[in-house]
Chains A and B, each alone.
Chain A
Amino acid sequence: MTVDVMAIATVTATTPRVAKTILGRGVKILSPERILMPYEHVAFKIDCDEFIIVFIPTLKRVFRIKKELVDAIPDRIFADTPPPTSQLNNLPDYMFCGTNLMCTNHCNLACIYCYGECSPKKEVTMTKGVAIAAVDYALNCTTRIGRKLAYANFFGGEPTQVWDLITVVSKHMRENAAKLGLRSRLTITTNGCMDRKQAHWLAENLDSINISIDGPKDIQDLQRSMSFDRVFATAQEIYKIAPQKLRFRATVSAFSVHSFSRIVDFLGINFPGCPQMYEPLFAMGRAKKLVQAMPDMDVFFAAFLAALPIATKHNCRLKTSVLNLTSKSQEFFCGVASRNFMITPYGEVVACNRMADRDVNIAADAFIYGRYDNSQGRFVFDDVRYQHLKTFTVSSIPSCNMCFARSSCKGDCIANKAAIHPENFQTEQSYRCQAVQQFVKNVLIYITDHGNNYLLA
């Protein structure tokens, strides 16, 4: 006779000997280890021809099992740890510990695929008053909910084109965070086209510098306005001063995808240890009519995996957005689902930087949920829009329900889906769903072969 684990849990919380006395002979006493393991986790069994991968996303565990044992593995596994809880699930509405300041839509480049269609011709710049108000809002929220770190990211357009705004806001953030007993984190996403003094200042004063660079000169110049020499010089300057602050973001086109390993090697040789993030070119914004410039996703993901050993050689970690095997959240691809507090150059509040301009993206309205009201001197929010943002999670996509890859891709980027399906995009599956599934499977196989050391997964 076997007694249900939970039923005798209280009794056996004493000792097995005492429990046996209470329950009588013939009762099988389960080990204390088993009794203290009440949490159930979904186990996905993935057929890999010669073996089975068992993937338990909520435990962050991956196993390789002999094929003949597959029937012995149930769909639910018990463990002593509960499913992870993301901090994203527990924040009150409108409580943002940081802000992403889209300082201007002006850019000194005009890259072939820019989703915001930013260029030297655009000239709208955020006022200092709005930027300071956003930072103060974040500092206030951070204090109110008892967090210790507030942050701001400078974004664009090209944020270094409004240099005065960056230096003023940085000083304000550092000083006021310190007054409140908070730490502050300042970061920037830049195209790297700046002078040496500016690069030096960023390396000394910010905490992280994310440079967009698509690869060696032939690729960079083709895709990003002949900017290689300037960007490379900036990256070298920053690396010399603060290598730990530098990271790279590359967009991969149908043209450059065949040079993926060469790009990883190029950045690794010149900037060893710096993380590299890769995303495929997507046909929106300026690239809306460049569908042929989008790389084949199977080719993109195969190239990513093939480049991993090269990244390992240079001590660089690789990242791509659908690879999130270790994030605690099981639901959110990004902060779009009501956690992003991004400010446009016009002073509007938006949940996604790719959906910040109504003139560029027809679906942008669904993502813009507030604005800075000059007459009231504060941010005002549209609660209907804000609450709607909360549905932008993988749980809203019926076809993702029992997919083993959902804990990694989280349903993929909703802005891309909104560009394809301006209505009901939150329930659509990703345009690259099948390729992502195969990729996640291949990554799991790779990890059981090589470990996870150099994947920003």
Chain B
Amino acid sequence: MFVSELEKIAEVSINLFAVKNGIEESCECPDDCGCDGDCNGDCDDSAGR
């Protein structure tokens, strides 16, 4: 099945990236916290204190 077919039968379809496109497109996050840009480098303490 192709994702377009899934879209047709779904009651709700959400693209998690869509609402965050600005961040995704411009992301240059150099950090390594696993956020891949969500934090824009401000990701020192993902589980911190």
B30 close to A147 (CB less than 8 A):
yes
Say if the beta carbon of A201 comes within 8 Å of chain B.
no
Residue of B nearest to A148 (CB): B28
Interface residues in B, total, Cβ within 8 A: 39
- Assess the A332–B34 pair: CB atoms within 8 A: yes
Report the Cα distance A447→B13, complex, angstroms. Answer: 10
Select which of A74, A147, A279, A321 is within 8 A of B1 by beta carbon: A74
Flag whether A86 is at the interface (Cβ < 8 A). Answer: yes
Residues of B within 8 A of A410 (CB): 34
The main secondary structure of chain A at its interface with chain B is mixed
In the assembled complex, A7 has its CB within 8 A of some CB on chain B = no
Minimum C-beta distance from B25 to chain A (A) = 13
A432 to chain B, nearest CB (A): 12
A287 nearest CB neighbor, chain B only: B49
The chain A residue sitting closest to B11, CB to CB, is A64
Considering the chains assembled together, what is the distance between the CA atoms of A271 and B26 in angstroms?
Answer: 26
- Determine if B48 and A98 form an interchain contact, defined as CB atoms under 8 angstroms apart: no
Question: Complex formed: what's the CA distance from A43 to B1 in Å?
Answer: 11
Partner of B48, one of A64, A249, A324, A326: A249
CA distance A34 to B35 in the complex (A): 32
Q: A34 to B9, Cβ gap below 8 A?
A: no
A51-B44 in contact given A73-B6, A326-B38 (Cβ < 8 Å): no
Give A147 to B41 CA distance when docked, in angstroms: 13
Q: How distant is B47 from chain A, measured CB to nearest CB, in Å?
A: 4
Q: Are A334 and B32 in contact (CB under 8 A)?
A: yes
With A149-B41, A327-B35, A332-B32 in contact, is A321–B12 under 8 Å at CB?
no
Known: A64-B12, A326-B24, A452-B20; 13 extra A-B contacts, CB below 8 A, are: A33-B2, A43-B6, A54-B10, A59-B3, A63-B13, A65-B10, A153-B42, A208-B41, A321-B47, A327-B36, A333-B47, A335-B32, A354-B47
Which B residues fall within an 8 A CB radius of A? Answer: 1-4, 6-7, 9-17, 19-20, 24, 28-38, 40-49
